[in-house]
Amino acid sequence: MELHITGLSKTYPNGTRALDDVSLTIPTGMFGLLGPNGAGKSTLMRTLATLQEADHGSVQLSGVGSSGASGSTINVLRDKDALRRVLGYLPQDFGVYPKVSAEDMLDHLAQLKGLTNRAERRAEVAALLQQTNLYEVRKKALGGYSGGMRQRFGIAQALLGAPQLIIVDEPTAGLDPEERTRFHNLLAEIGEEVIVLLSTHIVSDVSDLCSNLAIMNRGRVLVSGTPQELTSALTGRVWATTAARTAVAALQERHAVISTRLQAGRTVVHVVADAPPGPGFEAIAPSLEDAYFAAIGGHLGHAADAGTIAEGRFVDAAR
């Protein structure tokens, strides 16, 4: 099963170009969509979830209902009802009825999803509450749930009806470390046999979970590939030094600085360069975070031109 996005564009009435010719192929498994706030991630998610229209482009979900390529194909932008039957969606912000229990709310949503057989519906609701570790608090009103519990409930409702495409938008924002880990484990379990599209600005969420990803900024896809492909594009080109806070501005003027981080009273500075930038710098193994910041800053071009990003999936950020 694959999701094919081709030439997707969206401009809002105020002139904001939220999507600018976005093209991606998303296979079965966990796929990460990384980008800063305002990159166009949520617009893309809402468009794929049939909650808003695109101006141009096409989206096809192929292999539906089959483990191979012989399954049916859904035209996502034209046949919204067909897509909704196989879609699970957890938006960044979702509301609940605070006085309704998780069990009753999930049962109600299951009926709206088309699960009309009462026995089958109750069995699926119970199974999802078990899967999301909410069964013991199933009678508790949703208004008394913690942030992490609400996110797990959000995943439970997204899994109703055995969806084949699951979209989750910024799912770990605001979660404490324990809930974040629990949520990661749940997503990893879900993403083994369906397409799970994870939109986030948290690089570690993607590095922990996703075998493929794309980086977006200002409505464009800058680069896509596996985490290994993206980090390999920077092999031998990332250098680090420590500096006083007052010296950072001068370093930014002289070098392609991709990130700065305060550590033990000093600032750790990472730069991209084809040769040693100068005294005090040491070569380091690039991380996915380095690749992310380099892509946002337009500093992956040299490596990509050399063919180190597989299958020509690099897009020049400065076009």
Q: What is the DSSP letter of 51?
A: S
What is the tens place of the pLDDT at every residue in 184-242?
Answer: 888 888 888 899 999 988 898 899 899 999 999 999 999 999 999 999 999 999 999 99
pLDDT given for residue 92 in this prediction: 79
**C-alpha count within 13 angstroms, C-beta hemisphere, residue 242:** 5
Per-residue pLDDT tens digits for 247-256: 999 999 999 9
Of 201 and 302, the one with more pLDDT? 201
Q: Rounded mean pLDDT of 283-308?
A: 77
pLDDT (0 to 100) of residue 301: 60
Return d(Cα 24, Cα 48) in angstroms, integer.
12
- Tell me if residue 313 falls in helix, strand or coil: coil
What gap in Å lies between CA 10 and CA 54, rounded to an integer? Answer: 5
Residue 140 amino acid letter: K
Average pLDDT, the chain: 88
Pairing between β-strand 56-64 and β-strand 2-11 as defined by DSSP bridges = antiparallel
The predicted structure's pLDDT at residue 68: 47
* Domains in the chain with CATH codes: 2-224 (3.40.50.300), 230-312 (no CATH)
